[in-house]
Amino acid sequence: MSHTIVTEKCIGVAECVNACPVSCIHKGKGENNMKKDWYWIDFAACIDCSICLQVCPTEGAILDKEEPNLQRQLT
């Protein structure tokens, strides 16, 4: 199962991007509702290692389950 970045909670710190061993985290276009950069996880490429969850400083921005309705996937 994949992880999810909650688009409207992501504040664009991007520590998850550098930490991901399979490079499945990508920057989204534009800003989210908080006027912040945001990122998304490619569900098909995620290996469920939880490193993104461990390094993210924003509580609740990454979930340990696949929730497509909470994550935009625009590149």
pTM score, two decimals? 0.93
Our count of domains for the chain comes to 1
Average pLDDT, integer, range 7-36:
96
pLDDT tens per residue, range 25-66: 999 999 999 999 999 999 999 999 999 999 999 999 999 999
CATH number at residue 28: 3.30.70.20
Joined together, the tokens standing for residue 28 give 């989204």
Residue 74: pLDDT above 80? no
User: Residues 6 or more apart from 30 whose CB is under 8 A from it?
Assistant: none
